[in-house]
Amino acid sequence: MNTLLAHLPALQVVVPLVAAPLCLLAGRAGLAWIIAFLAAAFATVAAALLAYQTLHHDPISYAMGGWAPPWGIEYAVDTANAFILLLVSAIACLVLVFCRTSIPKEIRAGREHLFYCMYTLCLTGLLGIAITGDAFNVFVFLEISSLSSYALIAMGGQRKSLTAAFQYLIMGTIGATFFLIGVGLLYMMTGTLNMADLAKRIPEIQDSRPILAAFAFITVGLALKAALFPLHLWLPNAYAFAPSGVSAFMAATATKVSLYVLLRFTFTIYGAEFAFANLPLSWVLLVPAVIAMFAGTFSAMFQRDIKRMLAYSSVAQIGYITLAISLGTNAGIMAALVHIFNHGLMKAALFCAMGCIFYRIGSTRIDQLAGLGRQMPWTFAAIVAGGLSLLGVPLTAGFISKWYLVQAAMQSNLWPLVALIVVSSLLAVVYVWRLIEALYFKEPSLGNEAVVEAPMSMLVPTLLLAGANIYFGVDTRLPVAMAENAANLLMLGLGQ
């Protein structure tokens, strides 16, 4: 048991990685699902154990293959990435339960096992990005998760899924290549790829041009992957035309992991002083973040497809997270991490609920789901809970993140920013209300009279996710304790 625990950081990634080809070999949907689910469940347990360990003990350093860092690849787990690992694997696990029923209806028959193979690979990639302490390893896992997510989106069954996947492939590859250039320049100047080692060596040469260029390339590359305005163009179509389970999984995790890497590079590797005192990173992130908050919200108001509406709302929410990062303070990082967690919960719940509706009526267009709220009361309840959380109504998880965000802005004496956050949150009422009005207050449209509640196997994960939005709005100990601890660690940096 103890040896198993000692190798937990490696198993966290290796188990889903091995499960992926096994899903392929299984050849049948049922068996492949069981393998994928076991892997995701294992990852969740492993992440919970790692999170517990890092919260109560020191950060963990694991030498992959026994090669001591900085020569070998190090897996470095502290509260910051344990938090992300927990979010990613728990969401993956719940959404997978949802996929068992929804996927056979959304992708071509006989391909379910391929779907589960790609899904576990995507999970592997995201977990790997979060856990690794090696800059180049981040790139490798970034591409594992990206390539599998392009394939997952293309499985959407509609013709537009293909063009959406292609567009994402082009932009995603450019982003990843930018990141690769940045890492290359860092290696050229420091001769190391280990993050802790990089953090030690950068301060000596921090004014040299390649180091500055590397920072620019890495920030832009990651902003592309994280869909920060104006680099978000791939996101709306990708989320709108992917299978519902994939939208839920990716909206909750994929962009969040990129934002985590941005945090890691900015604060741990380069250090807050370099990025915020020597360079104007604050403004570089702040302006697009504020535009994203408003542009995302306004675009969301005018969407006729609800999945697309939620995707634009994601653009706005990523704006909030980036805004928190741009403050460059301890409170800012904490707000960013809390919102990464809470936004994952709300978007997963909402996309799953839309998946339930899609399962019944085969569409998520707003004019076709009129009056369905009365026929599908539980799904409607999940949408209300997720919607309220999205707005930041008290007693929901969204309120907690807005609270910390506003507090962080106040601490930095940026009062106009507080006003902007509140105004954009109020504007979000418009699109959430549009959805609720259509679902509950409009007369049912023709042909939908026979629609009943979604099957139990889809409803349970949806309600669990929606419930989590309420639960973490009341009992905030877990996200706040982890985010607080992680913010302190990130602010401290590794270089000092």
Instruction: Check: CB of residue 152 under 8 Å from CB of residue 115.
Output: yes
Pick one of 42, 63, 177, 330: the residue that binds other proteins (CB under 8 A). Answer: 177
Question: Which range, of 32-40, 175-183, 365-373, 412-420, touches other proteins by CB under 8 A?
Answer: 175-183
How far apart are alpha carbons 496 and 492 in whole angstroms? 7
355-367 burial, b for 16+ CB within 10 Å, e for fewer?
A: bbbbbbbeebebe
Question: Which range, of 74-82, 156-164, 299-307, 356-364, touches other proteins by CB under 8 A?
Answer: 156-164
Min dist CB 180 to other proteins, Å, is 5
Instruction: Check: CB of residue 372 under 8 Å from CB of residue 382.
Output: no
Query: Does 151 sit near other proteins (CB under 8 A)?
Result: yes
How far apart are alpha carbons 151 and 171 in whole angstroms? 15
Residue 82: C-alpha distances to residues 46, 54, 76, 257, 395 (Å): 10, 7, 10, 12, 26
State residue 231 phi and psi, 5-degree precision. Answer: -100, 25
Residue 358 vs 399, nearer CB to other proteins: 358
Pick one of 2, 57, 66, 159: the residue that binds other proteins (CB under 8 A). Answer: 159
Query: Does 208 sit near other proteins (CB under 8 A)?
Result: no
Nearest residue to 315 (alpha-carbon basis) of 445, 195, 218, 227: 227
Pick one of 34, 42, 173, 445: the residue that binds other proteins (CB under 8 A). Answer: 173
Question: Which range, of 33-41, 52-60, 140-148, 451-459, touches other proteins by CB under 8 A?
Answer: 140-148
Pick one of 18, 63, 181, 492: the residue that binds other proteins (CB under 8 A). Answer: 181
Pick one of 143, 197, 356, 360: the residue that binds other proteins (CB under 8 A). Answer: 143
Pick one of 5, 6, 188, 426: the residue that binds other proteins (CB under 8 A). Answer: 188
**Sequence-distant (≥ 6) Cβ neighbours of residue 403 within 8 angstroms:** none
Residue 33 vs 168, nearer CB to other proteins: 168
Instruction: Check: CB of residue 327 under 8 Å from CB of residue 408.
Output: yes
Residue 250 vs 263, nearer CB to other proteins: 250
Query: Does 163 sit near other proteins (CB under 8 A)?
Result: yes
Pick one of 42, 187, 294, 471: the residue that binds other proteins (CB under 8 A). Answer: 187
Q: Which residue has the tokens 């950060």?
A: 59
Pick one of 33, 75, 119, 150: the residue that binds other proteins (CB under 8 A). Answer: 150
Residue 36 vs 151, nearer CB to other proteins: 151
Sign of the Cα pseudo-torsion (150, 155, 156, 161, in order): positive
